Amino acid sequence: MTDLSPGRGGLPARLAGTARAALVPVLACAVTLAGLGAWTAAGGARRPATLTVEDARVLLPFGTDDTAAFFRVRNDGDAGDELLAVDVPTAGAAMLSRTVVTKGAGSMRMVPSAPVPAGGTLEMSPHGLDVMVAAPPRLRLGDRLPVTLRFRESGSVKVEARVVRAGSGG
């Protein structure tokens, strides 16, 4: 009798070799998908920070060349972010500061950054964190001042801060 199959081992051996060769990438994909599923289920696939800047306001300067600006930054994402800097292109300078009261006297301290918690809010106020704006342009009540907030993860966010009187609540 004559063997008509080409190569050694015949057709069954070749099919087994082909099946083994195809099985390796299929198993690799299955392991990868299982790992991604476990990572997602464990919370590893969080939504990035999703920031909204609200209530942007700057105080009308009164008897001084400097003023302060305040913002509410809401984060609807699952990851935190960090406010690194604030730019006011039409002013001399802008910097993050915090009001600190010691023995009844308030003072301002510059801070390098401010956290924006995941699912939370960074709230600025005259009694806490604010943005000191040095040498702003001449401002009138109701004017809009362009401001850029710079975040570690979310990049730059441009807003316009409305000029309000101190104590008006916004």
CA angle 148, 62, 168 (to 5 degrees): 70
* Model pLDDT, residue 45: 60
Predicted confidence band at 114 (pLDDT cuts at 50, 70, 90)? very high
* Residues 9-27 pLDDT 10s: 676 777 777 767 767 766 7
Least confident interval from 3-12, 103-112, 142-151: 3-12
Contacts of 156 by beta carbon, 8 Å cutoff, 6+ apart: 148, 149, 150
pLDDT over 70 percentage in the chain: 78
